[in-house]
Chains A and B, each alone.
Chain A
Amino acid sequence: MIYVGILIVVPLLVYLISFIWPPAINLLTRVIEANLLAAIAIPLALMTISTGRMNFGPQFYIGIGGYAAALLSIHFHVPPGLTMVAAALGGVIFGFIMSPMAIISGGLYYSLLTLLFPLLFLEATYIFTDLFKGDTGLSGVAPLVSTGNFSLNLLSYAFISLTIMLVYLFAMDKIFRSRYAIQMAAVNDDEEVANSIGVNVNKVKMIGFTIAATLVAVVGWFYAHYYQAFSGQIFLPLSFMLKIFMVTMLGGRTQIYGCVIGGYFIAFLEMILIRLTGDMSPVLFPIILLILLLVLPEGLFGLYRKRKYREYMPTLRFRR
Chain B
Amino acid sequence: MAEILKVSNVTKHFGGLTAVNGVSLSINEGETVGLMGPNGAGKTTLVNMICGSYPVDSGKIEFLGKDITKLPPWKRCKLGICRTYQIPRPFPELTTLASVCVSALYGKDRPNRSFEDAMTEATHYLEFVGLFAKRNVLARDLTLFEMRGLELARALATQPKLIFVDEVMAGLNPVEAEKAVRLIGSAKEQFGVTVLWIEHVMAVLMRAAERVIVLHYGEKIAEGPPKEVANNPMVIESYLGRS
Give A contacts to B, CB under 8 Å. Answer: 178-179, 182-183, 185-186, 188-190, 192-201, 309-313, 316, 318-320
Say yes or no: A198 contacts B93, CB within 8 Å. Answer: no
State the Cβ distance, B147 to closest chain A Cβ, in Å: 12
Q: Which residues of A contact B204 (CB under 8 A)?
A: none
**A197, B106: Cβ atoms under 8 Å?**
yes
Whether A311 lies near B115 (C-beta < 8 A) is no
Check if B94 sits within 8 Å of A199, measured CB to CB: no
Q: Is the CB of A190 within 8 A of B89?
A: yes
Report how far A196 CA is from B51 CA in the complex, Å: 7
CA distance in complex: A195, B85 (Å): 13
Sample of 18 more A-B contacts, CB < 8 Å, known A197-B154, A197-B155? A178-B115, A179-B114, A182-B105, A183-B106, A185-B102, A186-B94, A189-B93, A192-B73, A193-B89, A194-B102, A195-B53, A196-B73, A196-B82, A197-B102, A198-B77, A201-B74, A316-B95, A316-B119
Shortest C-beta distance, B114 to chain A (Å), equals: 8
- Contact residues in B for A312 (Cβ distance below 8 Å): 93
Q: How far is the CA of A179 from the CA of B113 in the complex (A)?
A: 10
The answer to whether B94 and A189 touch across the interface, beta carbons within 8 angstroms, is: yes
Chain A residue numbers with a CB within 8 Å of B72 are: 195, 200
Bound together, the chains give a CA A185 to CA B136 distance in angstroms of 16
Q: Does B215 contact A (CB under 8 A)?
A: no
Asked if B93 and A313 sit within 8 Å, CB to CB, the answer is yes
On chain B, the residues within 8 Å of A309 by CB distance are: 136
A190 to B150, CA, bound (A): 15
Number of interface residues of B (CB under 8 A): 40
Contact B89–A199 (Cβ < 8 Å):
no
Q: Give bound CA distance, A188 to B94, whole Å.
A: 10
Q: How many Å lie between the Cα of A320 and that of B94 in the bound state?
A: 17
Q: With A197-B155, A199-B74 known to touch, is A316 a contact of B83 (CB < 8 Å)?
A: no
Interface centre among A185, A192, A193, A198 (most CB of B within 10 A): A198
A200 to B53, CA, bound (A): 13
Contact with A along B64-94 (1 / 0, CB 8 A): 0000000011100110001101000101111
Q: Say whether B73 contacts A182, CB under 8 Å.
A: no
CB distance from B91 to the nearest CB of A (A): 4
Chain A positions within 8 Å of B102 at CB level: 182-183, 185-186, 194, 197, 199
Question: At the interface, yes or no: B107 with Cβ under 8 Å from chain A?
Answer: yes
Contacts of B155 in A (CB 8 A): 197
A178 cross-chain contacts in B, Cβ below 8 A: 115
B residues engaging A (CB < 8 A)? Answer: 51-53, 72-74, 77-78, 82-83, 85, 89, 91-95, 97-99, 101-103, 105-108, 114-116, 118-120, 123, 136, 138, 154-155, 157-158
Are A179 and B118 interface neighbours, CB within 8 A? Answer: yes
| Nearest Cβ on chain A to B99's Cβ, whole angstroms | 8
Nearest residue, chain A, Cβ from B105: A179
Which A-B residue pairs are the 8 nearest by beta carbons?
A189-B91, A198-B106, A198-B77, A179-B115, A198-B107, A318-B119, A195-B73, A197-B103
Contact of B53 among A183, A196, A316, A319 (CB under 8 A): A196
Q: Chain A residues near B52: list those with CB within 8 A.
A: 195-196
Q: How far is the CA of A194 from the CA of B91 in the complex (A)?
A: 9
Chain B nearest CB from A200 CB (Å) reads 5
Instruction: Point out the residue from B82, B85, B105 that lies within 8 Å of A183, measured CB to CB.
Output: B105
For B76, give the chain A residue with the smallest CB separation. A196
In the complex, what's the smallest C-beta–C-beta distance from A253 to chain B, in angstroms? 12
Write 13 A-B pairs (CB below 8 A) sorted by A numbering.
A179-B105, A182-B94, A182-B105, A183-B105, A185-B94, A189-B93, A190-B89, A195-B52, A197-B82, A198-B74, A198-B77, A311-B94, A311-B138
Nearest-neighbour CB distance to chain B for A208, whole angstroms, equals: 15
Provide the residues of chain A in CB contact with B123, threshold 8 Å: 320
Complexed CA–CA distance, A271 and B175 (Å): 63
State whether B119 touches A320 (Cβ < 8 A).
yes
Contact of A196 among B77, B93, B108 (CB under 8 A): B77
Chain A residues, Cβ within 8 Å of B120: 320
CB distance from B145 to the nearest CB of A (A): 19
- Cβ distance B49 to chain A, nearest Cβ, rounded Å: 13
Given the interface contacts A185-B98, A186-B102, does A195 sit within 8 Å of B118 by beta carbon? no
Give CA–CA (A200, B72) in the complex, Å: 9
Residue of B95, B106, B123, B154 most packed against chain A (CB within 10 A): B106
* Nearest CB of B to A95, in Å: 23
The answer to whether A192 and B53 touch across the interface, beta carbons within 8 angstroms, is: yes
A22 CB to closest chain B CB, in angstroms?
49
Q: Which residues of B contact A188 (CB under 8 A)?
A: 93
Would you call A182 and B108 a contact (CB within 8 A)? no
Which residues from A are CB-within-8-Å of B73? 192, 195-196
Closest to B107 in A: A198
Chain A residues with Cβ below 8 Å from B78 are 198
Which A-chain residue is minimally distant from B81 (CB atoms)? A196
Question: B97: shortest Cβ distance to chain A, in Å?
Answer: 8
